[in-house]
Structure 1
Amino acid sequence: MLATASKPFVKLVERYLPDPFVFVLILTLLVMGSAVVIQQQSVGTVLQQWGGGFWNLLTFSMQMLLVLVSGHMLASTAIVKSALNNIAKLAATPGRAIILVTLVSMLASWLNWGFGLVVGALFAKAIARRVQVDYRLLVASAYSSFVVWHGGLAGSIPLTIATPGHFTEDLIGVVGTSETLFSALNLTLLAIMIVVIPLVNRAMMPAAHDRVYVDPKRLAESVPEPKYHDLPPAEKLERNPILTVVTGLAGIAYLVMYFGDGGSLNLNIINFLFLFMAIALHGTPERLLHSLQQAIQGASGIVLQFPFYAGIMAVMVQSGLARDLSQWLISFATADTLALYSFLSAGLVNMLVPSGGGQWAVQAPVVLPAAIELGADVSKVSMAVAWGDAWTNLIQPFWALPVLAIAGLKAKDMMGFCLVQLIITGVIISAVFLLF
């Protein structure tokens, strides 16, 4: 039944879903055209607004890039891979394997979304080497756990507004993580997801005759033996662990001092933590740089797309388009329902802007003025946008690409399972934002 229900959706995605960069180009032209037609701005004025704001988010872009890269590098360390292989031994049955991969991936995504994407795929492969379980559902279970990332320690929206100097500070000030990530609302949503997502994944396990298995030999990882004899001095230095271990420990020592002095979580601190843990745990500059080369392949979209998001934000704000959109939102929303509408709209926008940071650049100028005018809770509305972005990642293939590449699958292989999770989690999250 699930396969039949998902086929039309899979075919639609395969046929009509272009690369996310195409979406950002379409959105750029749509916003610029709206500024000319609706806001009565001249073409020259709009071009000046767009070009003038194109590089306004360079700091923010680098922060988002480091979230993905540092998480990926940490996940690829030998100690993390070894830990995943040991935990995989607990998966004695197919049902237990599904539950376990969901929980481990969820914890990793809560810590850091780049870390979670890589850990989930690596752990699914580690389990599939030991247990005969439907490989499509196993990988889908790992990816479905990604839905909690924006309520976790590396959530780009809550950490952005907690970082001094963020681009909406003049509007809402600095909003601490105690009001967002560690609020009763967010912790409640996380607690519900921890229970619901693993159970739903387990319930979707196909009957024995419908399961799709993978040959464990295809998932084996070959590790070449390092050769240390007759190396030139430069290569010996690259394979020497002293520099990376001492530097990594120095970074960790700074963090101990930082939190000891009462420091709080923000985007820069989270990136600092994951980067220096990766440096320390990789052991040598050579292994660290090898993991960086792998990580950077999945980060190209951020480098290319974020300047366009900055240009879009500049046009929306300077042309008055953001102001008019917020006024329209206010016309039918109330202080109690604004969070729900923000969540649903964020889920829709995420299909066009598949990045929490980029999405916040587009939506913040709309939802924040609306929240202030209605007297709604700014932190709640911000988290609604965050959860909306994470929610439709279940069917937005942009962030699934690293998982699929590691697992050796295509989006259509797991899309049906993720679609079921989209419906169930969407109903639950909507109810919490409406009733909490």
Structure 2
Amino acid sequence: MLSTVTALSVKLIQRYLPSPFVFAILLSLIVLAASMLVTGQGLPSMAKHWGTGFWNLLTFAMQMALILVTGHALASAPAIHRLLAGLARTARTPGRAVVLVTLVALAGSWINWGFGLVIGAVFARALAREVKGVDYPLLVAAAYSGFLIWHGGLSGSIPLSLATGGADLERMSGGVVTTAIGVGDTLFTAMNLTIIALLVIGLPILNWAMHPKDPKVADPAKLLDPAHEALPRNTLAQRMDDSRILNLIIIALAVVYFGYYFAENGFALTLNIVIGLFLFIGLALHGSPERYMRAVQDGIGGISGIVIQFPFYAGIMGMMIGANAEGLSLGRQITDTFIAWSSADTFPVLAFLSAGLVNVFVPSGGGQWAVQGPIMLPAGQALGVTPAVTAMAIAWGDAWTNMIQPFWALPILGIVGLGARDIMGYCLLMLVYSGIVISGCLYFFG
């Protein structure tokens, strides 16, 4: 039964899912038409919202690009490469390979979403090299499934925003949250830990069960690591390029900085700190500036889709929050509709579902928070739902529909050499399972 459903899902996705860039363009046109219909604004006003929003996420886009490039460089360091290759050799069978890559990706994404994406992709390639007969698209989809857990993990932007506090939090929460809410009330609650546990148990089993009888094995050419010539050391300039001494000096400076940072702030992992850690740990493991830059150049292609598509999704967000004279926007209308259907018992589930819908159009945790936080948190409070529960419902909704929104799959696809159509059929079934788990936990615990 599952094999039949899986085959049908894969076939439908391969036939009808456009490329991620075309998907972003189509979403832009859908949001444009829907916003004009809902808010009554004309094309000039909507074009202004779109154009103004188009450039609003450039800083965040640069952070995303850096975290993925530095994460790829770290994962491709010789020591990490040997570790992953050794771990891959323990798999032995296709089923074990799928389970193992799922668990590694889940663990990595819980620690940090960027690290999870990259380590999952690199490990999938290592497993494809070592394990005969494993279905490569499913292996990559399993690596991507680990991303489901990110917003309930240590790098979740919404729970970290709640923990940071400040004037921005009060504004983003619609005035509901005036003091910081610690991660003990968001990430480490029984509700969140139960969701994570059920995903960690269930996703590997589901992914294992989906392995086809007639697997599509990887093209060996896609599994070859880039070949590099030996670095010349004939001139002073070349010796400086490959200098371990210069490497150690700049790493020592970074160690001093990070030491002071963690002494003053505790284990607070902001995006910039994670990028810095990835960069300097990768630099240390590669051994010299030139060797590190080669690894960066090998990974730079994986971010091309994100770099060009981020402005389009920022433009979509601009249209989603672009309000008419009465203050009505498409994002507000979607959220208000779900609120109108809610009771105190069903509100967390409907907040989750609405967030999942919005995430299809705004696949950014920060963007999601900007669209829904100021509306959802006051509504939840009025129904007696705590801000922490409402915020985590939004966070899980943001993570959930990434399984059918190909934007965040682009870094993985760039590393493994596949297209979105190759993996999204499997991801659709992961979406169904995770949706049942998350909504069930939100209902019973929320």
Taking only the aligned residue pairs, the percentage that are identical comes to: 49
Q: Does the CA contact (< 8 Å) of 1:159 and 1:267 recur in 2?
A: no
Q: Does the CA contact (< 8 Å) of 1:70 and 1:114 recur in 2?
A: no
Q: Does the CA contact (< 8 Å) of 1:151 and 1:186 recur in 2?
A: yes
Cα deviation 1:153-206 (Å, max 9, x = unaligned)? 233333345456786542435544333333332222222222112222233344
| Residue of structure 2 in register with 1:299 after alignment | 303
Quick one: distance in 1 between partners of 2:146 and 2:364?
17
| Residue of structure 1 in register with 2:151 after alignment | 150
> How far is 1:431 from its partner?
0.5
Match of 1:180 among 169, 183, 186: 186
Counterpart code for 1:245: L
Quick one: distance in 1 between partners of 2:438 and 2:360?
18
Match of 1:251 among 236, 254, 259: 254
> How far is 1:432 from its partner?
0.7
| Residue of structure 2 in register with 1:239 after alignment | 242
Q: Does the CA contact (< 8 Å) of 2:118 and 2:411 recur in 1?
A: yes
Does the residue aligned with 1:398 lie in a helix, a strand or coil? helix
Gaps in structure 2 of 5+ consecutive residues: none
Quick one: distance in 1 between partners of 2:355 and 2:281?
33
1:189 and 2:195 matched: yes
Q: Does the CA contact (< 8 Å) of 1:69 and 1:114 recur in 2?
A: no
| Residue of structure 2 in register with 1:131 after alignment | 131
Quick one: distance in 1 between partners of 2:161 and 2:301?
24
414-423 or 37-46: bigger deviation: 37-46
1:47-126 alignment runs, 5 A limit: 47-126=47-126
Match of 2:388 among 379, 403, 428: 379
> How far is 1:39 from its partner?
3.4
> How far is 1:216 from its partner?
6.4
**Aligned length in residues:** 433
148-157 or 349-358: bigger deviation: 349-358
1:140 and 2:144 matched: no
Aligned CA-pair RMSD: 3.4
Match of 2:277 among 263, 268, 273: 273
| Residue of structure 1 in register with 2:263 after alignment | 260
1:394 and 2:403 matched: yes
1:201 and 2:207 matched: yes
Quick one: distance in 2 between partners of 1:307 and 1:135?
34
**TM-score normalised over the length of structure 1:** 0.84
1:413-424 alignment runs, 5 A limit: 413-424=422-433
Identify if the C-alpha distance between structure 1 residues 426 and 47 changes in structure 2 by more than 3 Å, giving closer, same or farther: closer
Quick one: distance in 2 between partners of 1:430 and 1:270?
30
> How far is 1:84 from its partner?
0.6
Q: Does the CA contact (< 8 Å) of 2:68 and 2:115 recur in 1?
A: yes
Counterpart code for 2:150: W
Identify if the C-alpha distance between structure 1 residues 2 and 416 changes in structure 2 by more than 3 Å, giving closer, same or farther: farther
Identify if the C-alpha distance between structure 1 residues 224 and 107 changes in structure 2 by more than 3 Å, giving closer, same or farther: same
Counterpart code for 1:332: W
Q: Does the CA contact (< 8 Å) of 2:171 and 2:374 recur in 1?
A: no
**TM-score normalised over the length of structure 2:** 0.82
Does the residue aligned with 1:226 lie in a helix, a strand or coil? coil
Q: Does the CA contact (< 8 Å) of 1:124 and 1:139 recur in 2?
A: yes
Cα deviation 1:336-381 (Å, max 9, x = unaligned)? 3222112223333333444444444444454344334434323322
1:208-223 alignment runs, 5 A limit: 210-214=214-218, 219-221=223-225, 223=227
106-115 or 298-307: bigger deviation: 298-307
Quick one: distance in 2 between partners of 1:40 and 1:215?
51
Cα deviation 1:230-281 (Å, max 9, x = unaligned)? 2x43333222233333323433443333333343333333333333323333
Quick one: distance in 2 between partners of 1:303 and 1:265?
23
Does the residue aligned with 1:107 lie in a helix, a strand or coil? helix
Counterpart code for 1:233: L
Identify if the C-alpha distance between structure 1 residues 244 and 151 changes in structure 2 by more than 3 Å, giving closer, same or farther: farther
Quick one: distance in 2 between partners of 1:215 and 1:47?
44
Quick one: distance in 2 between partners of 1:277 and 1:120?
18
> How far is 1:123 from its partner?
1.7
Quick one: distance in 2 between partners of 1:407 and 1:326?
37
Does the residue aligned with 1:134 lie in a helix, a strand or coil? coil
Counterpart code for 2:272: N
> How far is 1:134 from its partner?
1.9
Gaps in structure 1 of 5+ consecutive residues: none
